[in-house]
């Protein structure tokens, strides 16, 4: 069973930085892609960044140049470095394993293949004030 635990959220001023961490367990971390999504109040959940199994990374246009994602396969961790934060970055940030078929294959455990994702964490709140 995929378990994703996000941490690092908080309240900051515009222009400041935050680092989010997603600790993954319950599956073979290297077997599938993993990424960050966010959902602002009243808004839809949207892609922030994906770290694919082939090593490539994708970013939403709104965060390019400000956010960087790191995938640590040794520690089963996904980190999102967020700089130059804006008020519009305020949202709940979610970690997702197997977020999209283009991110890599299915997630696997030692017993076999998991259902198609995304598999979600519970999220961490990021609030950016002006």
Contacts 24+ apart (CB under 8 A), 69-72: 69/35, 69/36, 71/34
What was the pLDDT predicted at 16? 98
Q: CB-based contacts of 55: which residues, under 8 Å, 6+ apart?
A: none
Per-residue pLDDT of the chain in tens (130 residues, 90 and over written 9): 899 999 999 999 999 999 999 999 999 999 999 999 999 999 999 999 999 999 999 999 999 999 999 999 999 999 999 999 999 999 999 999 999 888 888 999 999 999 999 999 999 999 999 9
C-alpha 128/C-alpha 117 separation (Å) is: 30
Query: Per the omega criterion (within 30 degrees of 0), is the bond before 118 cis?
Result: yes
pLDDT at 105: 86
Specify the pLDDT at position 101.
Answer: 87
Query: Both tokens of residue 61?
Result: 């246009």
State residue 102's pLDDT score.
86
DSSP class of residue 1 equals: -
pLDDT at 23: 98
- Contact of 35 with 91, CB cutoff 8 Å: no
């Amino acid at each position: 069973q995929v378990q994703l635990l996000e941490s690092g959220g908080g309240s900051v001023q515009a222009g400041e930085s935050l680092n989010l961490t997603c600790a993954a367990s319950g599956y073979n971390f290297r077997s599938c892609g993993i990424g960050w999504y966010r959902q602002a109040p009243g808004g839809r959940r949207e892609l922030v960044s994906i770290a694919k199994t082939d090593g490539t990374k994708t970013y939403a246009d709104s965060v390019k140049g400000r956010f960087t994602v790191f995938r640590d396969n040794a520690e089963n961790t996904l980190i999102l470095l967020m700089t130059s934060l804006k008020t519009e970055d305020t949202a709940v940030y979610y970690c997702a394993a197997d977020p999209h078929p283009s991110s890599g294959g299915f997630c696997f455990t030692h017993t076999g293949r998991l259902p198609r994702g995304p598999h979600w964490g519970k999220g961490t709140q990021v609030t950016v004030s002006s």
